[in-house]
Amino acid sequence: MSEIQIDKIGLRVGLEIHQQLATGTKLFCKCLPIESEEYSIGFARKLRIARSELGEFDPSAVFESGKEKTIVYYGNPECSCLVEQDEEPPHELNPSAKETVLIIASALKSNVFNEIYVMRKLVIDGSNTSGFQRTMLVALGGNLEVDGKNVGIQSICLEEDAAKLLRDSADTREYSLDRLGIPLVEIALEPVSGKPEDVKKIALTIGRLLRATKRVQRGLGTIRQDVNVSIDGGGIVEVKGVQKLDQLEKVIAYEAKRQHGLKIISEKLNKIETERIARERDVKDVTDAFKSCKSKTIQKALGEGSVIKVIKAKGFAGMFGFEPYPGIRLGKQLGELVRFYGLGGVFHSDELPNYGIEDQEIQQVRKILDMQQTDGFVILAGNEKRLEVVIEAIMKRIEDAKLGVPAETRVATATGETVYLRPRPGASRMYPETDILPVIVSTNELEKAAMKVPKSWEETLLSLQKQYELNPQLALQVFDSEYLDLFETICKDKRISPNFVASILCGTITNLERRRMDAKLLKSPEIVEVFNLLAEGKIAKESLEIIFEGVMSGKSKSIFDVIKEHTLGTLDEKELNKQLDELIESNTKIIEEQGTRSISPLMGLAMKTLRGKVDGQKLNQLLENKIKSKIDNKSKGN
């Protein structure tokens, strides 16, 4: 194993950025784009086999339909109507979404078409009730400057977001309709060569340009990246579902390592004697040989009526477990592939004997398939009909290993790796939407949009900094966060220091999220209310973290519940003075011994009972005055 030299493998990365627009209503109906977990509507559809109207089967479509699933949709009337249910044709295009995409195209110097056609893009995973996603190619070309370098824009599309996947099991898949139909702008960039961190910088710059328009949604899930990654001589791998920039950087680095690892494997394979797998000769049913196998997985499969099949790969001994880079093995790729077909995994020759499969079974397998020591094999267990499809896929994947990197679609994991999702879809996925007339873009509209292009994000940032006297770091944090609108609402009358508001929104709340608390439980109007209470002196600065923690941990339903449960309301002056006087009286000894320095231990004692109920600074001042006057009285008394 060696260290990968990422700048020497011909890494190329194409980014596709999907950003939800803040248009108030959806793209083709008046439903509100709000996420909701309360569903009053529910209906089911069978995933039907789809043939595109151009008459060609889409490979990914045929593939998915082989899985025969029931799709269940949930929604509520506030954020879904008959359009989302595909019971009514789409209404007119949302004019605000149109204007926003024109502004974005203008900002990216892209060439907008005079007429925009609504197209249907076939989707067969059930994420759209109609079986297709509506998309419009709005503009082509353009560029963006990142760190003094020009990054080319390929295309800009306006499209509908898909339904949100709730659950997926072997025969049912459940979606919620609230996200379906939210306007998305899709910006496809020209592929760039460079390091993962350079690509992250590009994505960050695009994200900031979009946020500077103040016409896009903010927060996790509102901006998503699909990434096309390839290296010299390999197929293009599409990675879906990247939501965070750090994850983007990791995903590209992982793909570079995986793809180059596969290339090393292919080079090694090409030096040894292998043979194309022949179905008749190299695939055999070995169920009988495993009847008394000690593997729990095998016994469970046999109990469910599964059969066990083995695929022989001539010359492959040592190749399934070979690891050019840590964690990159052909065996792992095969495991990911069969999981797509609903199998738990595979056993391959380089990892056996193990997992309860013993030498005696291995010897029998080798005998049945007439294997040499230099040959490798893969064991599969499952339903006979299903195995038929899986065996074809595995045979192809083993053949492809000699070629290097197969083109496929993968999905990003939260930790920044990727796993196999499905074969790459074919090209015949678009056909015209017959329910909507072409959308005309007038010169007047284009001119208007050009005037609305925001200043650069750097300038927007500077004006934010100036307007609220924020320090540069906090200004950037607010600008990049999902809280910019909220920040501006709270700071409108400047009753509270904007720096303090920014540090709570981007510091305290983020820290609580890092402690695995859920910021989604915190509703914007409640956050505004907390700052109102603070401005009115009804709660203390110190209680904000307690309040947010109470709600975000799920322990309390609302901010008012937390305030009540923790008695966080500020004490009135009289009560506060009374409590502090009592504290002084019961600690006269400390004051006599330590003089004014006794403020420190007494403050500690006071905070025990008063934390969150009194402003810390105010408490400190009051206590200091009381200690001083106590000392003065004492000396006068002497």
Residues contributing to the site for Zn ion (CB under 5 A): 29, 31, 81, 83-84
User: Distance between CA 226 and CA 241 in Å, rounded?
Assistant: 6
Name which of 64 and 84 has its Cβ closer to Zn ion. 84
Which among 534, 522, 532 has a CA at the least distance from the CA of 559? 522
Is the separation of the CB atoms in 93 and 85 below 8 Å?
A: no
* Least Cβ distance, residue 37 to Zn ion (angstroms): 18
H/E stretch holding 636 reads: helix 616-637
193 neighbors 12 (Cβ within 8 angstroms)? yes
Kindly list the distances between the CA atom of residue 621 and the CA atoms of 600, 609, 615, in Å, as whole numbers in the listed order.
Answer: 12, 17, 10
Two tokens at 256? 């570079």
Q: Which is nearer to Zn ion, 83 or 551 (CB)?
A: 83
Min dist. Cβ of residue 284 to Zn ion (A):
55
Count of Cβ atoms closer than 10 Å to residue 565 Cβ? 12
Hey, what amino acid is at 266?
S
State in angstroms the smallest separation of the CB of 31 from Zn ion. 3
**DSSP annotation string for 304-326:** TT-EEEEEEETT-TTTTT--SBT
Q: Tell the smallest beta-carbon distance from residue 29 to Zn ion (Å).
A: 3
Residue number with CB closer to Zn ion (123 or 544): 123
- CB neighbours of 97 closer than 8 A, spacing ≥ 6? 21, 23, 27, 158, 183
Q: CB of residue 27 vs Zn ion: minimum separation in angstroms?
A: 10
> Closest separation between CB of residue 437 and Zn ion, Å?
19
CB of 163 vs Zn ion, minimal distance in Å = 12
Give the residue carrying structure tokens 């977001």.
Answer: 161
Q: CB nearer to Zn ion: give 29 or 403.
A: 29
- In whole angstroms, the minimum distance from the beta carbon of 181 to Zn ion comes to 6
| Alpha-carbon dihedral 330, 335, 336, 339, rounded to 10 degrees | 160
- Output 84 or 417, the one with its CB closest to Zn ion: 84
Rounded to the nearest 5°, which phi and psi values hold at 479?
-60, -40
The CB-of-383 to Zn ion minimum distance in angstroms stands at 40
Take residue 318 and report the two structure tokens written for it: 């040592």
CB of 40 to Zn ion, least distance (A): 14
CA angle 494, 497, 503 (to 5 degrees): 130
Residue whose C-alpha is closest to residue 253's, from 169, 184, 328, 172: 328
Between 178 and 186, name the residue whose CB sits nearer to Zn ion: 178
Q: Tell me which residue of 107, 139, 152 sits closest to 12, measured CA to CA.
A: 152
State the Rg of the chain over Cα.
31
The answer to whether 355 touches 346, Cβ cutoff 8 Å, is no
**Which of 155, 152, 123, 154 shows the shortest CA–CA distance to 136?**
155
**In the complex with Zn ion, which residue's Cβ is closer, 84 or 174?**
84
Give the residue with the Cβ less far from Zn ion, 83 or 310: 83
Question: How many angstroms separate the CA atoms of 490 and 386, rounded?
Answer: 58
| Nearer to Zn ion (CB atom), residue 81 or residue 580 | 81
Q: Which is nearer to Zn ion, 85 or 510 (CB)?
A: 85
Q: 569: how many CB neighbours lie within 10 A of its CB?
A: 15
Distance CA 184, CA 485 (A): 20
Q: Please list the residues that pair with 135 across neighbouring strands.
A: 119, 159
User: How far is Cα 195 from Cα 193, in angstroms, rounded to an integer?
Assistant: 7
Nearer Cβ to Zn ion (42/601): 42
Smallest distance from the beta carbon of 28 to Zn ion, in angstroms?
8
Within 10 angstroms of residue 577's Cβ, the number of other Cβ atoms is 13
- Residue 341, number of CB atoms within 10 A of its CB: 17
Rounded to 5 degrees, φ, ψ at 494 are 50, 35
| Comparison of 31 and 293: residue with beta carbon closer to Zn ion | 31
Bridge-based pairing of strands 283-285 and 149-160 is unpaired
Type of residue numbered 289:
A
Of 29 and 546, the one with the shorter C-beta distance to Zn ion is 29
Reported in sequence order, the residue ranges of 359-503 that DSSP labels E, i.e. its strands, are 376-382, 408-412, 418-423, 430-432, 439-440
> Residue 29 or 166: which CB sits closer to Zn ion?
29
Q: How far is the CB of 20 from Zn ion (least distance, A)?
A: 16
Q: Provide the minimum distance between the beta carbon of 134 and Zn ion in the complex, in angstroms, as a whole number.
A: 13
Residue 25 CB, nearest approach to Zn ion (Å): 8
